[in-house]
Structures are given as structure tokens and as C-alpha cells.
Structure 1
Amino acid sequence: MNETEGALSISTRPCPSGPVVLRLAGDLDHYTGPGLRTAMAELLSGPGADVIADLSALDYCDSTGMTEIITAHHRTEDKGSSFSVAGLSPALTQLFRVAGLDQLLAVYPSVEEALDALGAS
């Protein structure tokens, strides 16, 4: 699946070992958040899979974007799977820390490290 909503590009890459990497690039905000919601609904409509959100190309995330990430986390957990984020920029790392998202979500420096943590590399 590849989708572009405004200034947000969303793509998914299933890994042979099970997890799905959800790559977000651009801006995640009030205008583009529904694109993430739609992508997650599509992704979670099938059998449950662990999701790694690759945020390494995410340039901007506002409070609506953070809410969408939290919602994606809860929806994935409701399916019995895990949701983690990887590749945060220094600015997003600080934002996640201030908002307390680093306490709610599993955060990894890279997708590869997230895959290792899931035993999926």
C-alpha cells in the first residue's frame, strides 16, 4: 500500500519474519492524520501483525499527529499485536519525551533495532 495525503506519504512493507513496517514521510498533523487512520484500519483489517512505525522521514508532528500515533498503538494492541516507533529525529525524540509518549510506546533508534527487539531480523 502506498498513499499520499497532503504532505504525508505512507507506505507499508511486510517483513518475511512477521512485522509490518509502516513508513511515514512528511508532516503528520490535523490535515494528514486521517491518512494514517485509514492506513492503520486497512493494515489491521487482516490478521494481526506487529507494526513498526518508521518515523525517520517524518518532518513534523503536531498534537493531532501524536494522537493518531497513540490511536494506532491502541488499535494494534487491541488486535493482540505490538506497535513500536523507530527512527525519531532529535526534535521528535524530544517531543515524544515531553509528551510522555516514550513511556507509552516502545521507541527504537532504527527499524533494524526494532526488528531485533521483536526477534524478527
Structure 2
Amino acid sequence: MQHDHGLTVTYQPHSARVHVLVVTGDLDHHTSPLLQGALDELTLAPGDGLVIDLSALPFCDSTGISILVTAHQRAQDAGARLALAGLDPDIAHVFKIMGLDRLLSFYETTDKAIAALR
């Protein structure tokens, strides 16, 4: 577990092929390096899945959005898939306005995201 300025990122291995990162707190310019560091520590292989649980994320600025888009691209480059879980409806609305719902996959819960990646 890593913690910095109100942001906590916890790695919860689900299986050999599915990785779960739980993000708690505000994801902004000051805290985004913590999420980036946790993502950098993951090794994704073809066929792997990565779920980022955002159910305890009350705020996400453009820097945080950039980290999530980069995570998606990195997963694609590795032949893996990324799913976001539990996104706050207001944040999800912003993502949809930006067209990110066409790029990123959103699920109501971590369990639903894991099921979709199988």
C-alpha cells in the first residue's frame, strides 16, 4: 500500500491474470505520481486484466484522467485489458463528456469488472 496527501493506492491481487488497484482519495496533480508509481510496478502480460477500483475516488482532475488514459494505452500495448470500477456518477459524467466512455470500460463494481475481463 502506498499513501500520499489523501490518496491511497492498494494492490489487491485477484488471480495470476487479474490485478486490482484500489484508489482511495483525490486524484490530482499532487497525488497522481502515486498512482503512476503503482501502475509502473505492475507487469502486464498478454491476456492479463487490470481493474482500477475508483469507488472511493471523490475527485479526479485532468492529470488523473491522463494517468488513466495512459494506463489504458499501456495495457493495450501489453495485450492486456483495463477496466475501471465504481466511478462516481459525477466523475463518470465528465468522462462521458470528454468521450472517454468510448475508450475506457466502466463497470459498477470491481466484481463486475473482473467478470468482464474473463
The answer to whether the superposition gives a TM-score over 0.5 is: yes
CA contact (8 A) 2:81 2:117 kept: no
Equivalent position of 2:95 in the other structure = 96
Secondary structure of 2:8 counterpart: strand
Matched, 1:34 2:45: no
Cα-Cα RMSD:
1.2
Q: Paired residue for 1:23?
A: 22
Q: Any residues of structure 2 matched to 1:1-121 within 5 Å, and which?
A: 2-16=1-15, 18-44=17-43, 47-48=44-45, 49-119=48-118
**Bigger share in strand:** 1
Q: Percent identity?
A: 39
Q: Deviations over 1:12-68 (max 9, x none)?
A: 111126211111010101001111111111013xx5231001000001000111001
SS in 1 for 2:9: strand
TM, length-normalised to structure 2: 0.92
- What is the count of residue pairs matched by the alignment? 116
- 1:27 and 1:83, CA in 2 relative to 1: closer, same or farther beyond 3 A? same
User: For structure 2, which runs of at least 5 residues remain unmatched after alignment?
Assistant: none
Structure 1: gaps spanning 5 or more residues: none
Q: Is the 8 A contact 2:50 2:81 kept in 1?
A: yes
CA distance in 2, matches of 1:68, 1:17: 24
Runs of 4+ in 1 over 2 A off after TM superposition: none
